[in-house]
Structure 1
Amino acid sequence: MESDVLLAQKGDKNAFTRLIEECQLTLYRVSKGILRDDTDCADAIQETILKSYHSITNLKQPKYFKTWLTRILINECNDILRKRKKTILLESVDDLGYSEENTEEFIDLKEALSKLEYKHRSVLILFYYEDFSIKEIAQILKVREGTVKSRLNRARNRLLSILNLYKDERGVENE
């Protein structure tokens, strides 16, 4: 990826296209985790691609291309939310590109994720679904690493509490 970044910074359009193709699923998943509507996701991704294409020469460290691109995307998503005053909801994990059987546990997980606050849901998505490190998430969200760690911890605890409530409601013993 780094070699393509260097080529793209020198004006190689094919290298830039390869970079975007490599990151397209991440762009969709992250935007879908923030925005509900596919049209909004497409708008955010399109703006992200345009902005990144025009400013790729400003990227100082090519190894952080994906982090840099994701930060631009999150800013675009937040701009769309501000402009349209939408409520942030995660429709479902299925919409993030995952295909799983519709077991009770999976349905509970999707429902529990949707009940988390945006700041907690977003760190879970970036950490577990997109495999970003704590440091990268901090850079993307423009917060301290300690903030990311505490949000992850709170998100995990809240998610566990919600899932335990679902088990209790069904009369299933907690493990």
Structure 2
Amino acid sequence: MNFEPDVSKAKAGDRHAFVLLMRRIQTDMYGMAYSILQNDDDSADALQETIMQAYQSISSLREPAFFKTWIFRILINKCNQILRKKRRTLHMEALHYEPASSGDEYRQVELREVVNQLDESMRVVVTLRYFQDMQIREISDVLDISESAVKTRLHRARKVLINMLQYSGEGKAKLNEGY
């Protein structure tokens, strides 16, 4: 998706171009926020805060070609702020995976539901790679980690996902091993 013409206009102060940009990526952004926060209200808050910050600082974006990476970095930072705030006020229970009981072993498991059971560091890289179609380099930039760390997290996540899917009685999972 080419964002550059609208990004250039938005950087120049065109509000309509900024709104169009947000409409084009709002679903992807919400999905990313939800994969981190696991809550509709918190995800909506993160999205709103991200859009406000992006609007206020879009003129500082140096390279329009990196708009999506830039805004996803803002979004992930906002999500992490919300998580830190929640952890201070609430004791969050750890996510756990409950395998299907023998009576419903043939039920369909949505991949997204299984991905949501991953540890946050793995869940974020899987979501960016497979649901947002970001390249390893882009994920590395967004998360501010090395490319090898991204690859390691993806590898570990695939192993966990395969085990979870096999354990649930869904049969063998075949995930793309390519980075």
TM-score by length of 1: 0.82
Q: List aligned pairs for 1:114-133, cutoff 5 A.
A: 114-133=116-135
| Partners of 1:34 and 1:89 within 8 A in 2 | no
CA distance in structure 1 between the partners assigned to 2:94 and 2:19 by the alignment: 30
* Structure 1 residue 106, shift from structure 2 partner: 2.5
Q: Which has the higher helix share?
A: 1
Q: Structure 1 pair 11/120, CA: closer, same or farther in 2 (3 Å)? A: same
Q: Structure 1 pair 74/156, CA: closer, same or farther in 2 (3 Å)? A: same
Unaligned runs of 5+ in 1: 91-102
| Partners of 1:119 and 1:151 within 8 A in 2 | yes
What is the RMSD computed on CA atoms of the aligned residues? 2.3
CA distance in structure 2 between the partners assigned to 1:52 and 1:25 by the alignment: 16
Q: List aligned pairs for 1:6-85, cutoff 5 A.
A: 6-85=8-87
* Structure 1 residue 42, shift from structure 2 partner: 1.2
Q: List aligned pairs for 1:89-128, cutoff 5 A.
A: 104-107=107-110, 109-128=111-130
CA distance in structure 2 between the partners assigned to 1:173 and 1:24 by the alignment: 33
CA distance in structure 1 between the partners assigned to 2:20 and 2:7 by the alignment: 9
Identical counterparts, % of pairs: 41
Which residue in 2 is equivalent to 1:3? 5
Amino acid at match of 1:57: S
Which residue in 2 is equivalent to 1:137? 139
* Structure 1 residue 173, shift from structure 2 partner: 8.2
| Partners of 1:89 and 1:118 within 8 A in 2 | no
* Structure 1 residue 70, shift from structure 2 partner: 0.6
- 3-state SS of the aligned residue for 1:106? coil
Unaligned runs of 5+ in 2: 97-105, 175-179
| Partners of 1:34 and 1:88 within 8 A in 2 | no
| Partners of 1:138 and 1:148 within 8 A in 2 | yes
CA distance in structure 2 between the partners assigned to 1:71 and 1:152 by the alignment: 18
